[in-house]
């Protein structure tokens, strides 16, 4: 390919900016967009040590580039937009661990909540047509006034994280209606994968199961084993985000499987992968892992996403739980 041809192809590419690039969703979003032929910029904060376990494979891709930016600094966001000339922005950056939000409520509110406002203001100041995707959360429903929850279900968050996500959700909608911006929100129910952070209960379980199978530990300490979640597989959920951004009219969509599993069910599926049927002797309930205000059940109704976007979850529960256990087992054994 000569230089002229390379420049021509590069100029015709759609450019996308992804915040939270090194997290689970951000890294899968990058994979998805690169397969679609995008030029992808991954925004990360300046740090002395880069946390790129989920994005190592992207570093050699000529259509991917890291860029420095911070949701706590609006000027840096504006610079990111001007540098990348992004036509689509996917906001996955957040303090996303619900348990930690009780320890750092102010920092959670600043990044997970006000960070969305700063990005929207940066887009507004930039002045070019930019489509914006906000990763909203099922934690906004919290106490579940209606079960399953859809786009019209009243919100009742039960944690600083849920409250912060709700602010981000509403400011996204408000700027859409006030400034005629193309802003969409995906109200994502729980979605997991091999790239999930170790602090999350699902990855804590799969890592623990792998360690038990390898003789590296004896028990896993957990909190409420009866909590029910609508769990899906993260790569399926980033496809829904992209589909929302391709519509002519911006809107909000619940993204969920419509089915719930308890922590006990997750344990059963995970231990089954290492041929342990009775996991009770390997699990200890520790009160320190119980939340001050527990959300017992979260279940979503994704009818709108299925009918309007044509989206459906593709990966069965037992399959992706198995993928997670296999990944942790292989990593630890190696």
Pairing relationship of beta strands 283-285 and 220-222 according to DSSP bridges: parallel
- Mean pLDDT along residues 118-144: 95
Confidence of residue 9 (pLDDT cuts 50, 70, 90): very low
Q: What would the pLDDT profile of 205-235 be if each residue is shown by its tens digit?
A: 999 999 999 999 999 999 999 989 999 999 9
Q: Which of 164, 156, 155, 171 is nearest to 123 (CA)?
A: 171
What is the token pair recorded at 243?
A: 């589909």
Question: Does the pLDDT at position 236 exceed 70?
Answer: yes
3-193+234-258+300-314: which CATH topology?
A: Rossmann fold (3.40.50)
Query: If pLDDT is split at 50, 70 and 90, which confidence band does 31 have?
Result: very high
Q: Which residues contact 168 (CB under 8 A, 6 or more apart)?
A: 112, 113, 115, 116, 117, 134, 136
Residue 219 and residue 282 in contact, taking contact as beta carbons nearer than 8 Å: yes
Structure confidence at residue 8 (pLDDT): 38
Is the model's pLDDT at 95 over the cut of 90? Answer: no
Which of 274 and 102 is assigned the larger pLDDT? 274
191, 232 contact by CB (below 8 A): yes
- Mean pLDDT (whole number) for 92-109: 82
Residue 12 has pLDDT above 80, yes or no: no
How confident is the model over 34-52, as a mean pLDDT?
Answer: 91
Q: Which CATH class is domain 201-226+261-298+321-333?
A: alpha beta
Instruction: For residue 289, give both structure tokens.
Output: 């892992």
**Cα separation values, 205 from 97, 147, 333, Å:** 16, 27, 17
Cis check: omega of the bond before 301, within 30 degrees of 0: no
pLDDT of residue 48: 61
How far is C-alpha 102 from the geometric centre of its chain's CA atoms?
19
pLDDT, tens digit, 9 for 90 and up, residues 284-308: 998 877 766 666 788 999 999 999 9
Q: How many whole angstroms separate alpha carbon 119 and alpha carbon 117?
A: 5
Q: What is the average per-residue pLDDT within 193-197?
A: 95
Q: Please say whether the beta carbons of 43 and 93 come within 8 A.
A: yes
- Assign 75 a pLDDT band (cuts: 50, 70, 90): very high
Query: What pLDDT was estimated at residue 10?
Result: 45
Q: Where are the domains of the chain?
A: 3-193+234-258+300-314, 201-226+261-298+321-333
Q: What value does the mean pLDDT take over residues 122-144?
A: 95
Predicted local distance difference test score (pLDDT) of residue 294? 62
- Report helix, strand or coil for 181: coil
Q: Is 252 helix (H, G, I), strand (E, B) or coil?
A: strand
Count H helices and E strands in the chain, helices first.
Answer: 12, 14
Q: Is the pLDDT of residue 3 over 70?
A: no
């Amino acid at each position: 390919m000569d230089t002229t041809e390379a420049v021509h192809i590069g100029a015709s590419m759609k450019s996308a900016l992804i915040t939270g690039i090194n997290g689970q969703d951000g890294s899968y979003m990058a994979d998805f967009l690169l397969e679609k032929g995008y030029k992808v910029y991954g925004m990360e904060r300046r740090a002395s040590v880069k946390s790129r376990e989920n994005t190592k494979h992207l570093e050699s891709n000529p259509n991917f580039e890291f860029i420095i930016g911070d949701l706590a600094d609006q000027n840096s966001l504006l610079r990111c937009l001007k540098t990348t000339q992004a036509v689509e922005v996917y906001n996955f950056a957040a303090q996303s661990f619900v348990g930690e939000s009780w320890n750092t409520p102010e920092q959670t509110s600043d990044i997970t909540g006000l960070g969305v406002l700063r990005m929207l203001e940066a887009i507004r100041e930039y002045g070019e047509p930019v489509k914006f995707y906000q990763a909203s959360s099922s934690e906004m429903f919290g106490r579940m006034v209606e079960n399953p929850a859809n786009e019209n279900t009243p919100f009742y968050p039960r944690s600083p994280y849920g409250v912060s996500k709700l602010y981000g959700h509403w400011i996204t909608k408000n700027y859409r209606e006030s400034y005629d911006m193309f802003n969409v929100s995906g109200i994502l129910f729980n979605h997991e994968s091999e790239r999930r952070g170790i602090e999350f209960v699902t990855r804590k379980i799969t890592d623990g199961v792998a360690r038990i199978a390898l003789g590296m530990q004896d028990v896993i300490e957990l909190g409420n084993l009866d909590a029910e979640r609508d769990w899906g597989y993260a790569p399926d959920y980033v496809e829904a985000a992209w589909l929302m951004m391709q519509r002519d009219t911006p809107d909000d969509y619940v993204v969920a499987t419509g089915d719930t599993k308890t922590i006990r069910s997750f344990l059963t599926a995970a231990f089954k992968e290492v041929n342990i049927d009775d996991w009770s002797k390997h699990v200890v309930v520790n009160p320190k892992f119980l939340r001050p205000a527990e959300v017992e059940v979260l279940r979503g109704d994704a009818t709108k996403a299925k009918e309007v976007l044509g989206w459906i979850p593709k990966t069965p529960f037992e399959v992706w739980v198995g993928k997670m256990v296999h990944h942790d087992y292989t990593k630890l054994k190696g």
